[in-house]
Amino acid sequence: MTAAVTEKQDYFKNTGYVLAANFAVLVIGFLSRPIVARLLGPSEYGAYAIILSTAALLPVFLLFSMNVGVLFYSAKNPVREALKEIISSSTAFVIVTASVLFVPVYLISGLLLTDTTPELFIVSYILAVCLSLFYISQALQQGAQRFKGLGASNIISSLLAAVLAVYLAYSTQSAIAIGLSRAAVTAAIALFVFNSLGGFGKPTFKTVAKLFDYSKFLGFSGLLGLPIGVIDRYALLWFRSKAEVGYYDIANSLGTMVLPFISSFLTTMSPAVIRNTEKAKVYYERILAATIALLTVFGIGIFYLSDIVVTLLLGSEYLGSVLPLKIIAVALPAMALFSINATMFSSLNKTKPAAALNVLLSIALIAANVLLVPGLGPAGASYAVLISFGLASLAGTLYLVRTHPAELRKPALQILLFAAAAAAYFALQGYGIIVKIVAVLLFAGVTVLLNRRIAMEVADNAKRLFLQKLRARG
């Protein structure tokens, strides 16, 4: 067996582990998030969305994108002693920054988190610290290519957090309690992963400096790109109401729930490209084609059936989420393309273009939300996502293919078909659900035909790996 064949099989095997795990996470989220939203109601669920958004924002300060450096150096040198030093040094960095920044960030939060309590910020901060450690643990497993462990930790953390969230939503109707439970779960999983990789060694300034030096451009761009994860929710909180934050957040969560599943390709691609940059073009073309195909099918399904999805999962109380969900469904290919480009730049050690993309996206999101949210509410926030990710993904693709030429005709054709299918919805709007389902299935069939080479390659490799496991067991 040639090295190239072995490498390809290893890639498919590792991707299979992560795909399986992320599919489980997708199912868990798809089942639990709507239940939590229904139990809490739009206003309290809006508070929970603010906790999650703020906690996702704060690692920009606490972690300063150091998890990217952790991924890079753990992929370069995945031996036990090196990993222990990385674990201890990056964890020490998070603890120190969290301690130093708490008071000033707390004071600033009073200006941003209107119509909320101080407890909401404190829970968000605790969750942010735990998430920072969790991101480090994921980067370590990814870099060391411990994909079974990465998948297991994602499934366990998602399942435990979901079970606790549903229980606490039912028993307490408290966003604060659910946020604290999520913090406890992520911290416990991160510490378990650290221990499985060798535990804590001695933190050194040299290691912190090395990780910081690799990540600094992404860290600084992260500061400029602060609005990416929160400006939509914050704009709705400032200009509209917590309930409308709830309408938008659940629409965004349902629409983008497939993205972690798609990120499986990027999770295994990144260390492979870091180790062998000559294969970047091949990985980029295959992952781009597969991702666009999968997301356009999912997006059309959500676009056509959004009213049914919202009514069944959330009830009539959340009918304000239908239009935002449709718009987010259309934005999915652009959101995935942005992530692919950013991951490719980072894997090729081109952190400046990756940073520039974050800044561009941030500026576009600020402008679009300020212009659209006051008048359009949750739909305006969704249009802001569509416009901003569309611009940033187009800019990133044009720059990347200029330096690393790639074949884009098939993904471009798929996106054109996606746009045509979305436009056809308005001609079919007066027909029943059966006609809409048939249209979605027809689009899926055309997509499989257009991408049959990739589909056959995935099927062949899956079959080969399955037979190998059978022989090994025999």
pLDDT of residue 276: 63
Say if residue 453's pLDDT is above 80: no
Q: Domain boundaries in the chain?
A: 9-224, 244-468
Residue length of the chain: 474
Please, which residues have CB within 8 angstroms of residue 50's CB and are 6 or more apart in sequence? 113, 116, 120, 124, 233, 234, 237, 242, 245
Residue type, 61: F
* Tens digit of each residue's pLDDT (9 = 90 or more) over 229-253: 778 888 888 888 888 888 898 888 8
Question: What is the Cα–Cα distance from 466 to 474, expressed in whole angstroms?
Answer: 12
pLDDT of residue 128: 94
Say if residue 373's pLDDT is above 70: yes
**What is the model's pTM?**
0.71
Say if residue 11's pLDDT is above 70: no
pLDDT of residue 110: 75
**Which of 38-42, 256-260, 391-395 has the least mean pLDDT?**
256-260
Question: What is the Cα–Cα distance from 464 to 459, expressed in whole angstroms?
Answer: 9
Say if residue 222's pLDDT is above 80: no
Tokens of 69: 């450096």
149: closest CA among 14, 26, 257?
Answer: 14
Tokens of 183: 């913090």
Say if residue 143's pLDDT is above 70: yes
Q: Mean pLDDT throughout 411-420? A: 88
pLDDT of residue 90: 92
CB under 8 A, 24+ apart: contacts of 280-283 = 280/344, 280/347, 280/348, 280/404, 281/404, 281/405, 281/406
CB of 244 within 8 A of CB of 378?
yes
Say if residue 126's pLDDT is above 60: yes
> 16 versus 324: which is more confidently predicted?
324
CB of 51 within 8 A of CB of 249?
no
pLDDT of residue 198: 87
pLDDT band with cut points at 50, 70 and 90 for residue 388: very high
Please, which residues have CB within 8 angstroms of residue 204's CB and are 6 or more apart in sequence? 85, 89
* Tens digit of each residue's pLDDT (9 = 90 or more) over 317-345: 888 888 999 999 999 988 888 888 877 77
Say if residue 146's pLDDT is above 60: yes
Report the chain's terminal Cα–Cα distance, integer Å.
Answer: 21
Say if residue 266's pLDDT is above 80: no
CB of 392 within 8 A of CB of 365?
no
Tokens of 25: 């996470």
Give the Å distances, CA to CA, from 234 to 61, 200, 228: 18, 38, 11
pLDDT band with cut points at 50, 70 and 90 for residue 273: low
* Tens digit of each residue's pLDDT (9 = 90 or more) over 34-88: 889 889 988 888 888 889 888 988 888 888 888 888 888 888 877 788 888 899 9
pLDDT of residue 237: 85
Q: Mean pLDDT throughout 220-228? A: 66
Find where tokens 């914050």 sit: 234
Tokens of 73: 């150096």
Say if residue 457's pLDDT is above 70: no
Say if residue 157's pLDDT is above 70: yes
> 396 versus 379: which is more confidently predicted?
379
pLDDT band with cut points at 50, 70 and 90 for residue 468: low
Q: Mean pLDDT throughout 457-471? A: 53
